[in-house]
Amino acid sequence: MSTPARCRALVLACLGWWVMGGTAGADNKVYRCGQTYQQVPCPADAAASSQAINAIDNRSAEQRSDARAAASADKRQVKSLIAERQQREKAIQPQQAPMGTSMKGSEPPASAPEAGSPPQHPKKHKKKTPEPDRYVPPKPPADKG
């Protein structure tokens, strides 16, 4: 075999090894340490709660492909729903003004003072006297006599 052919064969072999997930006897364990998951065993202080979990994907290639297709369809649907919501919000936004402000181009309220007239001050409301914090019994009826 020539050198370029050997190089291609080596590249294809490495690519095949990589596609197959590394070595055939690779340990696909994941360790659960309390509430976290990791690929290395738990530290000695958390060893009591350590659990080894086998993380091999047992789905067929068709099942994985179907799952990817469903995920991409969900992603497209989410994007279209976001765009739809943003269009609705843009249509609503010009009709609403924040509280305490007026919309651009709107007419002033009828109670607004005309130009050149003195400014009107809002009427002051009398404060009600606060109710007592204790029970006050009603007065007894007056004796007729």
138 three-class SS? coil
| Number of Cα atoms under 13 Å in the Cβ half of residue 84 | 6
Residue of 17 and 75 predicted with greater confidence: 75
pLDDT digits over 71-118, tens only?
999 999 999 999 999 999 988 866 656 666 665 555 555 555 566 666
| Residue 25, pLDDT score | 47
Q: Cα torsion for 101, 107, 112, 114, to the nearest 10°?
A: 130
What does the alpha-carbon distance between residue 67 and residue 73 come to, in Å, rounded to a whole number? 10
What does the alpha-carbon distance between residue 32 and residue 40 come to, in Å, rounded to a whole number? 9
pLDDT at residue 16 tops 70: no
| Residue 20, pLDDT score | 61
| Residue 67, pLDDT score | 96
What does the alpha-carbon distance between residue 29 and residue 39 come to, in Å, rounded to a whole number? 7
pLDDT digits over 18-51, tens only?
556 554 445 678 888 888 888 888 877 765 667 7
Task: Pinpoint the alpha helices (H) of the chain.
Answer: 3-19, 61-92
pLDDT at residue 135 tops 60: yes
What does the alpha-carbon distance between residue 13 and residue 19 come to, in Å, rounded to a whole number? 10
Query: CB of 59 within 8 A of CB of 67?
Result: yes
Domain spans in the chain, listed from the N-terminal domain onward: 25-56, 58-94
| Residue 83, pLDDT score | 96
